[in-house]
A and B are shown apart, each in its own frame.
Chain A
């Protein structure tokens, strides 16, 4: 198995930066000079730096120092699985909060995250942590600070019951 570090992950940021710079320039092309100036200079600098990086990467690739792969970027499968699951759960939490409301979505999110990282054998601990955190967050954000989070019927009932 090839143990040389992979180059592909290192390419993502410079390629992304050049793409973003190009998009930026396209959005300011018709604007007055003063509104364009930062975009022009910074994108120019990004292109020069990215070019320098690409030349360096090409040399590293040719000398056999690095391989054209993802090697070294991904960790063990168990950790990767947990990481991607937590990311997915986070996206679901944000997407479902307007539907499920503050309490239910937060409770499920914390419960799920603890179980993903700690395993099913920590179910009691997970329930305890998610309950404490939901109550704390509800008290701080909804009752005390009154942040306008999306509230479900459950949240509104509890809030009205407290006040």
Chain B
């Protein structure tokens, strides 16, 4: 009872920092929407600010910015097929086809509702089960991570369903591109073409920008605008009242949003895993349990809701190991740790006893931030959706300029801008010839992670693959993976048989 009243008090306390949260939400949305920017590098840039203010203000500001940037990532993914980060890449699968069909406003509302709902569910779940969740990381080692990443990689096969050979080839090419750079154990360079810039592997942002944004620009030049001509009226006639109707409609998917947000929380807790894995796993699971799995990829709102809810579930999950055991779950959490340590905060179990207003406060602040996003974000959906009707002579230079500059930002190499153009050509060729761009991207994102965990597991077992089946949790995950792969096959066979008998 005492704890409940403490947390209730913390909610009221967090709400009093609305003046910190609102600018952080606006800034977070902007940096989230610009490819190349992220909450992590924005917090680094703003370090002088966060180090100079009170620790509570700094923490709330960073948390609000982080949460809002996750929501912001989905905006360009839907409107112009540009995922700002790997986590938003899964959103493009259905978000962009919806925008092309004149349903950008609907896709954005689903994105916002799923993000906010996912964020609220994630923080509530974490607040309720923090002591238990902080132990989850102890049960998920490299073996279990291999299986979790395999869940995401199976999406390649799902995407490849229309042309299996081409899709799988695209996925394999992505995996091989992802394996460029020094290996994780011996630090020996592999397939770097002698370029020092590739020793750390293929940077994700230029790859994302090239495969999605630049290839999209080349298509846009031909097509004239994002939205297809027959749907122009729908975009032009959208009203603010429609947003409210769409919010009500999207809340019908509350169950999907809830469990995909929980997927996000669990994956977020695992140090090193992140929004990319969570979003692809959530998308793959949403498709598997959907009544219309074949419609995924053609522009279904559930395909937007699932990855967005998972992305925002990750936000809370990633802070669990940071606050509970002092191990950051991701890059943003690591930077937050630096700020907190500068302010003299000792992270770990004692924090919940010594400074509960900080330990629990970060999660209550996140909850309030998501609530504040409701009035700030939804009215914008109507205006944002108009972007899809802009002519190519405006969109093409805007997208090209901002994405190329965005490709430079994370590492500060001119090389990365050139790399983005090279990936743009690959993406354009892949689009025109039926090799799925997203399959290439999944390989690039998940390939290095898969290799890293697989290598670690094999290193422990001295090269024995039997280690992959050596843990109970891992074996349970293997069973789920097999079910995930077999169930759609059985369902399609049953549907085919029903059709034949009818």
Mark A residues whose CB is within 8 Å of B. 9-10, 12-14, 17, 20-21, 23-24, 27-28, 31-35, 37-39, 42-43, 45-46, 49-50, 52-53, 56, 73, 75, 79, 82-83, 86-87, 90-91, 93-94, 97-98, 106, 109-110, 113-114, 117-118, 122, 125-126, 129-130, 133, 137, 140-141, 145-150
Contact = CB atoms under 8 A, between A and B. Distances in A.
B172 to A, nearest CB: 5
B451 A24 contact: no
Nearest to A93: B404
B408 A42 contact: no
A32 B188 CA distance: 9
Contact of B393 (A23, A97, A114, A149): A114
Nearest to A80: B222
B409 interface: yes
Contacts of A42: 172, 175-176, 179
A12 B428 CA distance: 12
Contacts of B476: none
A97 B414 contact: yes
A93 B417 CA distance: 10
Interface stretch (B49-57, B135-143, B430-438): B430-438
Interface in B177-202: 177, 179-180, 183, 185-186, 188-192
A27 B189 contact: yes
Interface in B374-401: 391-394, 396-398, 400-401
B186 A35 contact: yes
Nearest to A126: B393
Nearest to A11: B433
A4 B164 CA distance: 23
Nearest to B395: A117
24 contacts: A14-B169, A27-B190, A27-B192, A28-B191, A31-B186, A37-B458, A38-B175, A38-B176, A39-B179, A42-B179, A46-B172, A49-B165, A53-B165, A75-B222, A90-B404, A94-B418, A94-B421, A109-B401, A113-B397, A125-B393, A137-B401, A147-B405, A147-B408, A149-B405
B446 interface: no
Interface residues of B, number: 63
Interface of B: 34, 37, 42, 45, 165-166, 168-170, 172-173, 175-177, 179-180, 183, 185-186, 188-192, 214, 217-218, 221-222, 391-394, 396-398, 400-402, 404-405, 408-409, 412, 414, 417-418, 421, 425-426, 429-430, 432-435, 447, 451, 454-455, 458-459, 463
A27 B404 CA distance: 30
Given A34-B458, A38-B175, 18 more contacts: A12-B433, A13-B426, A20-B173, A28-B191, A31-B183, A34-B183, A34-B455, A37-B455, A42-B175, A42-B179, A53-B166, A75-B222, A86-B400, A87-B421, A90-B400, A117-B393, A126-B393, A147-B412
A27 B199 CA distance: 13
Contact of A133 (B166, B180, B398, B417): B398
Contact of B222 (A33, A83, A130, A140): A83
Given A27-B189, A49-B169, A97-B414, A13 B430 contact: yes
A68 to B, nearest CB: 15
B396 A117 contact: yes
Contacts of A10: 433-434
A82 B222 CA distance: 9
Contacts of A31: 183, 186, 188, 190
Contacts of A34: 183, 185-186, 455, 458-459, 463
A114 B433 contact: no
A16 to B, nearest CB: 8
B427 to A, nearest CB: 11
A45 B459 CA distance: 24
Contacts of B172: 17, 42, 45-46, 49
B194 to A, nearest CB: 10
B217 A49 contact: no
Given A34-B183, A114-B393, A86 B217 contact: yes
B191 A20 contact: yes
A103 to B, nearest CB: 12
Contacts of A98: 414
Contacts of A83: 218, 221-222
Contacts of A129: 394, 397-398
A17 to B, nearest CB: 5
A29 to B, nearest CB: 10
A17 B435 CA distance: 12
Nearest to A82: B221
A149 B408 CA distance: 8
8 closest A-B pairs by CB: A118-B393, A35-B183, A113-B397, A117-B393, A49-B169, A24-B191, A79-B222, A110-B397
A145 B45 contact: yes
A114 B397 contact: yes
A9 B397 contact: no
Contacts of B166: 53
Contacts of A126: 393
A118 B122 CA distance: 47
A31 B402 CA distance: 40
Given A27-B191, A39-B190, A79-B221, A141 B414 contact: no
Given A34-B458, A83-B221, A122-B393, A52 B165 contact: yes
